[in-house]
Amino acid sequence: MPTYTATDYEPVPPGLYTARLEQIEEATSQHGTYYRWCFLIEDAGEQKERKVYANVSEKFGPQSKARRWCEQMIGRSIRKGERFDTDELLGRSYHIMVSNTPEDERGRVFDSVDNVHRIRPKAEPEREEAHE
């Protein structure tokens, strides 16, 4: 007979991380279709290569999480009527803000992605003009 060792889930601590968007999977709940966004933490340290998730609805209006995140990730507004394919976002790195949920009835705490932003390119150093 097998012998089991009980484990527990340790959530990723709250904070800002650099993470790569690995995949977006369609899922269904009692409320309808939603998408599960999976990020892989790239920062050095004990959280490196941990996965964190965000559930995002299929709504894409101006105030929706999906629209807001996509705009923040590409660094521009998405115009009314524009079709945007989230495949453009996959495999790229972003800054993500992770939070932890309050304890549930069984004392469990989970991590959650609260926000996503593109990583701004580093500014080039200012050049001094030559004086004559």
pLDDT in tens, 33-61: 999 999 999 999 999 999 999 999 999 99
pLDDT in tens, 103-124: 999 999 999 999 999 998 875 4
pTM score, two decimals?
Answer: 0.84
Q: What is the mean pLDDT of residues 87-101?
A: 97
Q: What is the mean pLDDT of residues 95-109?
A: 94
Q: What is the mean pLDDT of residues 66-87?
A: 96
Kindly tell me the burial class for residue 67, based on how many C-beta atoms sit within 10 Å of its own C-beta (0-12, 13-18, 19 or more): middle
Average pLDDT score over the chain: 91
Q: Which H or E run includes 69?
A: helix 65-74
Residue 132: pLDDT above 70? no
User: Percent of the chain having pLDDT more than 90?
Assistant: 83
